[in-house]
Chains A and B, each alone.
Chain A
């Protein structure tokens, strides 16, 4: 009954396809598309410039990716997620190979070798890797029904650790943190014993301290963290402070209703670097104010809660874990991206899902929602 639901034989296909379409979580879909639309608006506002002829190139590319993303989401929804268990190992292996390849063949942007240049586009494998690793972890922790043993936990950690380590070499601390976040959520939901979790937490703390001390992190990464922890500008991290102050000033300048769309270059968000990507929330905050920001946060809230609900009603643990992973990923990215713009989190390079300018991020985001919808559509099968 479970095996071939989506790609079933022709005799059932038309009716089951129709019924499947009706089972789509419309709320999640609408919230996702709403956030995407808002995102396109913000990218345009952040990049149109002040010339008499607005710069539309960023918008065009982002729109292209959004359409491709929606298509990709539709395709993802069609393939029964349960078939992915079989493909998980292959996808995982491919991810590792591609991540290694990008270290050698990738192009360096903002100091990180994280992108492939494909024609006019740049592709960031670590973004797609998130989905592969989530699926892999979900598959791994559903091999055995029982509570994961210590050995299984370690193996699961290794599964997430290997790609994280490769990404760290790019280096891209932000993405590694995303991996850490969704891995933690998957481990938690998979039923890892509390003492294992506790131990794990201790290890993470110790490892973090060690990385800071041993100088594994780049100087700027340390600066960002110390700037956040000390809240005191020093000669080294003054740039970080400036960025954070500018971002908060811009958001604060939005006030209740915002300064209005489309003249961002005259505004404080113009002083914020990366304002179309990781710091795009500053544009939202300044131009749309608290009202617009709250709407965006609320939309994310709806997305996250729907993902949670799909996870809770999933027909199997695999589906639950996929949703848990996507939830952890989305939640962390939203919280960190908005958090660093508003000054309650340290600065790391993490895109705001569906909103930040960047093809890989938006494609991966749609992929993940596609997966969740996939689980939802098949909750009665």
Chain B
């Protein structure tokens, strides 16, 4: 029997020992995993089963100086498509069905007010990665929400979500100042990767304007919610103690007054439209197309920007939820004259005669007047309209005869008894040709440039807006440098006397931005305080506490030479007010201010016209003014303090006095008389339109109880139509046709407390 054989027993014992050691190994492993290693595995464990979800924070608002909300947030319906579901429903074999569905979707989205092309929709769906949710349309109406909601089987994976987007209560007003937001791109993403306000790859970021420059303040800090999920990603519960609430962004308050902004924008457009009606003097002259322009209103005492307009403009609403490619192409095509560009800060123009005060300042301050061939400040001479540069004046580069501009009949303008004051009032060019030549030939040949730079021309003002252009004040060294660097584009390297003459009248290579001009005149107005203009006044948290405040930023206090400043301001005062009762000779801005019956006795205005020549294009019309200024001729204005400085630049528009000056005259007239029209938000306008049409409908119903029933129903119908058409004046709503589809907008905006209708 085996009993006698010990070998199996012995071997079984070995097996037993092995078994025991294996059990020991298991327990040891368990001890390691479950007791020793707990901290690590607990962390791993929670990472395994918890999902963090980002809660986007609302962006801060942008308000005007009086607290009107210019940029707000609103909740909108968003059409999205769940890519995996969509792909599953439309495999390669079902191409035709897929296209048909996209077409149907594009039609429905377009019908809801968001014009959408089939190709663009298809591209958006195709380009998305297979796990994404793709946004197809933002801010669609309730009809579409209902339509899609009722047909899930027809549009597989298409869902309606809600999103917080930018809202612009005042429509397109101040679009360039406010800027727009858009989806963050890779370079922007790289630049904000260290920001405490974490960004996700599909987040929005300020692209231009205040939205861009105050991105850090406006952006909220996203929060996080942590959810426990099952392995199939089903949410079980939220771990509330781990929740971090999103922090809304801060509000940015501007120095802009939306009422003045609206007026300024309107005046700018009107002036351009008016300019287009002018006839050319000669057929060979370039067309006066007046396509674009800019206007800036500053407070010379603080450097605050009161209004800033640029034309053509755009609608920031188009960027909500992503602008369509075709719209963007239109906005950036050359024929559109760059509506996205803020010409007030990014447009660079030859200042023309508006530069003359700075030439004059340089000439007086550096003691040129009364020396050489130059008269004293008070010295009068007849301006025959022609200035000839002699050979010994180093007239070497061709042009040796410089003339005044020509009047409406083509005759060169002449003027008797021109002194420095009158040279500004009537804008005598030859007076400045002479100064330019004299300074150019002297040892102190940078006197004009130095003066211009002192007033902040040719460099960025430092306003809180992105992409500001610096402008350019050319001189000897720059010309040499440019020629050396690129002889093809700049064939001449020598600074000639002619160059200095051109500079003296703001021509040649000199370039300034409208904001620089306004700021330079403001500096002249306030007695030498050069400010970096503020367009934002403060940053406030949601609870109203002030996070940042922007006090006036005085860059430099220029010790303005009164011997120079006083005659210059007197000359500028004459532009709007001087008229020779005998000869009927007038200041170049006289007509514009006279036309609006501007009370110059109450508010004396110093100003300057400019008509800058541009190669192969019609002249740029400029006008800069500030006031009210103490006028020595009007003793009751001795205590006046200049509180407004305004610059207007109109491209390819002709004479500054005829075209640009009316903008300023009309605007300042309304400002000083307290007649700036109130700007109404779109919501208030819609509410008022609804109320008015309801009143009309009620009146019509009352009026027809006697018999003529037909008019009553027509009135009611059209009144109903008016509630849908936002801001439609009631006058047109009564004539609206009966073909208007039934409007199902259920929310009629209501007026809030303290709001009134126009």
Which residues of A are at the interface with B, using a C-beta cutoff of 8 A?
A: 50, 142, 145, 147, 185, 188-191, 245-246, 248-256, 265-268, 270-271, 285, 289-290, 293-294, 297, 300-301, 304-305, 308, 311-312, 315-318, 320-321, 324, 327-328, 331, 334-335, 338-339, 342-344
Check: B601 CB closer than 8 A to any chain A CB.
no
Contacts of A331 in B (CB 8 A): 19, 22
Q: Please tell me if the beta carbons of B37 and A252 are within 8 angstroms of each other in the complex.
A: yes
A-B contact pairs, 12 of them (CB 8 A): A249-B41, A256-B34, A267-B49, A270-B230, A270-B231, A290-B31, A290-B34, A301-B20, A308-B15, A312-B13, A316-B2, A342-B30
Contacts of B8 in A (CB 8 A): 189-191, 317, 320-321, 324
Check: B27 CB closer than 8 A to any chain A CB.
yes
Q: Please tell me if the beta carbons of A335 and B22 are within 8 angstroms of each other in the complex.
A: yes
Q: In whole angstroms, what is the CA distance A311 to B236 when docked?
A: 51
Contacts of B20 in A (CB 8 A): 301, 305
Q: In whole angstroms, what is the CA distance A312 to B8 when docked?
A: 8
Q: Please tell me if the beta carbons of A317 and B26 are within 8 angstroms of each other in the complex.
A: no
Contacts of B40 in A (CB 8 A): 252
Given contacts A271-B48, A335-B26, A342-B26, contact A255 B19 (CB under 8 A): no
Contacts of A343 in B (CB 8 A): 29, 33
Contacts of A50 in B (CB 8 A): 230, 236
Q: In whole angstroms, what is the CA distance A324 to B5 when docked?
A: 16
Q: Please tell me if the beta carbons of A293 and B30 are within 8 angstroms of each other in the complex.
A: yes
Check: B42 CB closer than 8 A to any chain A CB.
yes
Which residues of B are at the interface with A, using a C-beta cutoff of 8 A?
A: 1-3, 5, 7-9, 11-16, 19-20, 22-23, 25-27, 29-31, 33-35, 37-38, 40-42, 44-45, 48-49, 228, 230-231, 236
Given contacts A252-B37, A266-B236, contact A339 B16 (CB under 8 A): no
Closest Cβ of chain A: how far from B373's Cβ, in Å? 87
Q: In whole angstroms, what is the CA distance A378 to B22 when docked?
A: 29
Given contacts A191-B5, A253-B42, A297-B30, contact A246 B48 (CB under 8 A): yes
Closest Cβ of chain A: how far from B19's Cβ, in Å? 5
Closest Cβ of chain A: how far from B240's Cβ, in Å? 16
Contacts of B29 in A (CB 8 A): 339, 342-344
**14 other A-B residue contacts (CB within 8 Å) besides A252-B44, A256-B35, A311-B12:** A147-B7, A185-B15, A191-B7, A255-B35, A255-B42, A256-B34, A266-B236, A268-B49, A271-B49, A285-B33, A297-B27, A316-B2, A338-B30, A339-B29
Contacts of B26 in A (CB 8 A): 297, 334-335, 338-339, 342, 344
Contacts of B25 in A (CB 8 A): 335, 344
From A316, which residue of chain B is reached at the shortest CB distance? B2
Given contacts A248-B41, A294-B27, contact A317 B5 (CB under 8 A): yes
From A190, which residue of chain B is reached at the shortest CB distance? B8
Contacts of B14 in A (CB 8 A): 188
From A307, which residue of chain B is reached at the shortest CB distance? B19
Q: Please tell me if the beta carbons of A316 and B16 are within 8 angstroms of each other in the complex.
A: no
Closest Cβ of chain A: how far from B351's Cβ, in Å? 66
Q: Please tell me if the beta carbons of A300 and B27 are within 8 angstroms of each other in the complex.
A: no
Closest Cβ of chain A: how far from B694's Cβ, in Å? 52
Q: In whole angstroms, what is the CA distance A252 to B231 when docked?
A: 17
Closest Cβ of chain A: how far from B26's Cβ, in Å? 5
Contacts of A248 in B (CB 8 A): 33, 41
Picked from B1, B11, B35, B45, the residue with its CB within 8 Å of the CB of A249 is B45
From A317, which residue of chain B is reached at the shortest CB distance? B2
Given contacts A300-B23, A339-B26, contact A290 B48 (CB under 8 A): no
Given contacts A308-B12, A317-B2, A331-B19, contact A266 B230 (CB under 8 A): yes
Contacts of B35 in A (CB 8 A): 255-256, 290
Q: In whole angstroms, what is the CA distance A313 to B7 when docked?
A: 14
Contacts of A268 in B (CB 8 A): 45, 48-49
Q: Which of A253, A285, A318 has the most CB of B within 10 A?
A: A253
Picked from B9, B12, B41, the residue with its CB within 8 Å of the CB of A252 is B41
Closest Cβ of chain B: how far from A297's Cβ, in Å? 5
Picked from A245, A250, A304, A318, the residue with its CB within 8 Å of the CB of B23 is A304
Contacts of B231 in A (CB 8 A): 265, 270-271
Q: Please tell me if the beta carbons of A305 and B44 are within 8 angstroms of each other in the complex.
A: no
Contacts of A249 in B (CB 8 A): 41, 44-45, 48
Contacts of B34 in A (CB 8 A): 251-252, 254-256, 285, 289-290, 293
Q: In whole angstroms, what is the CA distance A142 to B19 when docked?
A: 24
Q: In whole angstroms, what is the CA distance A334 to B5 when docked?
A: 30
Q: In whole angstroms, what is the CA distance A300 to B25 when docked?
A: 13
Q: Please tell me if the beta carbons of B49 and A266 are within 8 angstroms of each other in the complex.
A: yes
Q: In whole angstroms, what is the CA distance A320 to B31 when docked?
A: 34
Q: Please tell me if the beta carbons of B44 and A189 are within 8 angstroms of each other in the complex.
A: no
Q: In whole angstroms, what is the CA distance A283 to B30 when docked?
A: 13
Contacts of B3 in A (CB 8 A): 315-316
Q: Please tell me if the beta carbons of A253 and B41 are within 8 angstroms of each other in the complex.
A: yes
Q: Please tell me if the beta carbons of B7 and A324 are within 8 angstroms of each other in the complex.
A: no
From A293, which residue of chain B is reached at the shortest CB distance? B30
Q: In whole angstroms, what is the CA distance A309 to B2 when docked?
A: 16
Q: In whole angstroms, what is the CA distance A294 to B13 when docked?
A: 24
From B6, which residue of chain A is reached at the shortest CB distance? A191
Closest Cβ of chain A: how far from B481's Cβ, in Å? 58
Picked from B1, B23, B41, the residue with its CB within 8 Å of the CB of A316 is B1
Contacts of A297 in B (CB 8 A): 23, 26-27, 30
Q: Please tell me if the beta carbons of A251 and B33 are within 8 angstroms of each other in the complex.
A: yes
Contacts of A254 in B (CB 8 A): 34
Contacts of A289 in B (CB 8 A): 34
Contacts of A320 in B (CB 8 A): 2, 8-9, 12
Closest Cβ of chain A: how far from B47's Cβ, in Å? 9
Contacts of A301 in B (CB 8 A): 20, 23
Q: In whole angstroms, what is the CA distance A316 to B2 when docked?
A: 5
From A271, which residue of chain B is reached at the shortest CB distance? B231
Q: Which of A147, A250, A290 has the most CB of B within 10 A?
A: A290
Contacts of A290 in B (CB 8 A): 30-31, 34-35
Closest Cβ of chain A: how far from B4's Cβ, in Å? 9
Closest Cβ of chain A: how far from B103's Cβ, in Å? 41
For the complex of A and B, list the 4 residue pairs with the smallest distance between their C-beta atoms, beginning with the closest: A252-B41, A317-B2, A253-B45, A290-B34
Q: In whole angstroms, what is the CA distance A96 to B475 when docked?
A: 105
Q: Which of A266, A289, A334, A343 has the most CB of B within 10 A?
A: A266
From A318, which residue of chain B is reached at the shortest CB distance? B2
Q: In whole angstroms, what is the CA distance A188 to B230 when docked?
A: 47
Q: In whole angstroms, what is the CA distance A320 to B3 when docked?
A: 10
Q: In whole angstroms, what is the CA distance A246 to B41 when docked?
A: 10
Contacts of B38 in A (CB 8 A): 252, 255-256
From A254, which residue of chain B is reached at the shortest CB distance? B34
Q: In whole angstroms, what is the CA distance A188 to B10 when docked?
A: 10
From A300, which residue of chain B is reached at the shortest CB distance? B23
From A330, which residue of chain B is reached at the shortest CB distance? B19
Closest Cβ of chain A: how far from B341's Cβ, in Å? 50
Contacts of A317 in B (CB 8 A): 1-2, 5, 8
Q: Please tell me if the beta carbons of A308 and B19 are within 8 angstroms of each other in the complex.
A: yes
Q: Please tell me if the beta carbons of A324 and B15 are within 8 angstroms of each other in the complex.
A: yes
Q: In whole angstroms, what is the CA distance A91 to B735 when docked?
A: 101
From A315, which residue of chain B is reached at the shortest CB distance? B3
Closest Cβ of chain A: how far from B14's Cβ, in Å? 7
Given contacts A189-B8, A191-B7, A266-B228, contact A327 B19 (CB under 8 A): yes
Closest Cβ of chain B: how far from A371's Cβ, in Å? 16
Contacts of B15 in A (CB 8 A): 185, 188-189, 308, 324, 327-328
Contacts of B16 in A (CB 8 A): 305, 308, 312
Contacts of B45 in A (CB 8 A): 249-250, 252-253, 268
Q: In whole angstroms, what is the CA distance A339 to B27 when docked?
A: 10
Q: Please tell me if the beta carbons of A189 and B12 are within 8 angstroms of each other in the complex.
A: yes
Q: Please tell me if the beta carbons of A312 and B9 are within 8 angstroms of each other in the complex.
A: yes
Q: In whole angstroms, what is the CA distance A315 to B16 when docked?
A: 19
Contacts of A318 in B (CB 8 A): 2
Closest Cβ of chain A: how far from B741's Cβ, in Å? 48
Contacts of A251 in B (CB 8 A): 30, 33-34, 41
Contacts of A312 in B (CB 8 A): 9, 12-13, 16
